[in-house]
Chains A and B, each alone.
Chain A
Amino acid sequence: MQSLTNRSKMVSDKKMTFLEKLYLPAIFGGMIITAKHLFRKNNTIKYPEEQRVFAPVYRGQHVLKRDEQGRENCTACGLCAVACPAEAITMVANERKKGEEHLYREEKYAEVYEINMLRCIFCGLCEEACPKEAIFLTDRIVKTDDNRPDFVYGKDRLVEDVNNRIDVSRRQLTGKRKEK
């Protein structure tokens, strides 16, 4: 049969010579390769002292945005949850009462909004589905933990702080929003 590549080698079972039986040349050959690597540039970095620059399309922990007046953008329409392939998002909606107009932008708001960060695969489909520009994935990393229930992030950890906004302008300039 004709071989597909020219890399195939015939296997031989010839006896080793005396030099080969000593193994020393092979050992030294290997040690030279190891020694070369000692002087090469490292492929790893010393996290967390040193940190890599994230690509603008990096998808990390989610944020629920507020508008310029500090009102929550999310209206609990459920499109993120229906788009989510991992079924990580759940929500309970509620009606905005009179006097709460400064808290929520629309008539309806999410009373409970939870993302299970262990289920989430950070695909960004929720962000793409959102009609209200409420949910964004940021360049923050989801913190490690040793307790499973703690990975279910509620509104306390998802909604951005009014005084400490999270900048997502870089994400707004990528993908489908670029054309706007």
Chain B
Amino acid sequence: MIKVTIDDIEIEVEEGTTILNAARMIGGDVVPPAMCYYSALPGTGGKCRTCLVEVAAGSTKDPRPMPKLMVSCSTQVMDGMIVKNKTSERVIENRAGVVEFLLANHPLDCPVCDQAGECDLQNLGFENGKEATRYEEERRTFEPIDIGDHIKLNMNRCILCYRCVHVANQLTDQRVHGALHRGDHTEISTYIEKAIDNDFSGNMIDVCPVGALTDRTARFKSRVWFLNPMNATCECTKCSGKAVVWMFGKEVYKVTTRQDKYGEVEQVDGKPQWLCDECRFDKKDVSKWTIEGARHIDRHSVISQGHYEKPNPLDNKPKNIK
């Protein structure tokens, strides 16, 4: 066990832990935001630069500060390391710059985008970004395309986090999509349109921090804040069957994986609870799901408006009355 200090809070962690994960153990404001790192997908991280932190002292043996800001999602902690996140002016200023870069080519089409309301980039921009844009050049644009029967790819909104590529690599048999071209010409795509039909490829929708990959079966159906997220399970041989069904009245509008407070898929005993495509896209009927109860939504989220965690609207028998 080694000791690290993050924003003046000391914590003991195991060797090999990254700064980001050590900060998540403390929780709260100390945690740097992350757009590309995804705990359930090994190999992610290091691309978006939003999690940069200042290392004021490298370790007890070598207490010199690291000259540049470090990527907290892939830098491992050392004994006696002192990390500054929210307490460092440099980090705050730098993060605002990173947000500006991420938004440079991002279209401001939040009113149209299905991800609005549960978008990591919106939260990031709101918490760390600047109020106005300075970007005057023409943004790069693509036509939205269908990759597979169920997934819409809108490359305009992509921030190139590569999470979806890792999903395809690690969860599905054959990866049929990836990054084409290089540098600022990079785009996520498939060689052949509608090529994606793997069983677990729907998970790339949940993994996508922005609205680049969206569910075609729920396309433009409703905005997230009008829906009621409910924890539900179903019996499935392929996946865990643990999901969140987003309901409008008694209709199921969309099905997603259960996500923790960092927007990452929930893990049970170290196993990520991914959903198969059948559960996600084809079970749009309440009778196919066992509703456990309302999903807990943070009260600061727009989704919490009109969302009541008690009682269960599908429960016809009131429990409190005996």
Binding site for B on A (CB under 8 A): 75-79, 81-82, 93-95, 106-108, 131-132
Contact = CB atoms under 8 A, between A and B. Distances in A.
Contacts of B112: 75, 77, 106-108
Contacts of B302: 82
B220 interface: yes
B111 A77 contact: yes
Contact of A78 (B109, B144, B226): B226
18 contacts: A75-B112, A76-B220, A77-B111, A77-B223, A78-B222, A78-B223, A82-B225, A82-B226, A93-B221, A93-B222, A94-B220, A95-B219, A106-B109, A106-B111, A106-B112, A107-B109, A107-B112, A108-B112
A77 B305 CA distance: 16
A17 to B, nearest CB: 70
Nearest to A111: B220
Given A94-B220, A131-B110, 18 more contacts: A75-B111, A76-B220, A77-B110, A77-B111, A77-B116, A78-B222, A78-B223, A79-B111, A82-B223, A82-B226, A82-B305, A93-B222, A95-B219, A106-B109, A106-B111, A107-B112, A108-B112, A132-B111
B165 to A, nearest CB: 26
Contacts of B222: 78, 93
Instruction: Summarize B's interface: helix, strand, loop or mixed.
Output: loop
- What is the interface residue range for chain B against chain A? 10 to 19
A76 B219 CA distance: 13
A82 to B, nearest CB: 6
Nearest to B226: A78
Given A82-B302, A82-B305, A131-B111, A108 B220 contact: yes
B24 to A, nearest CB: 31
B308 to A, nearest CB: 14
Nearest to A87: B306
A10 to B, nearest CB: 58
A142 B199 CA distance: 54
B267 to A, nearest CB: 32
Interface in B107-126: 109-112, 116
B220 A95 contact: yes
A79 B116 CA distance: 11
Contacts of B305: 82
A93 B111 contact: no
A82 B116 CA distance: 13
A81 B302 CA distance: 12
Contacts of B220: 76, 93-95, 108
Nearest 9 pairs between A and B by C-beta? Answer: A77-B111, A78-B223, A93-B220, A108-B112, A75-B111, A108-B220, A95-B220, A131-B111, A107-B112
A77 B226 CA distance: 11
Contacts of A78: 222-223, 225-226
The listed residue with most A CB atoms (<10 A of its CB), out of B112, B116, B222, B223, is B112
Interface in B77-117: 109-112, 116
Interface in B136-188: 144
Nearest to A75: B111
Nearest to B108: A131
A78 B111 CA distance: 8
A165 B223 CA distance: 30
Contacts of B111: 75, 77, 79, 106, 131-132
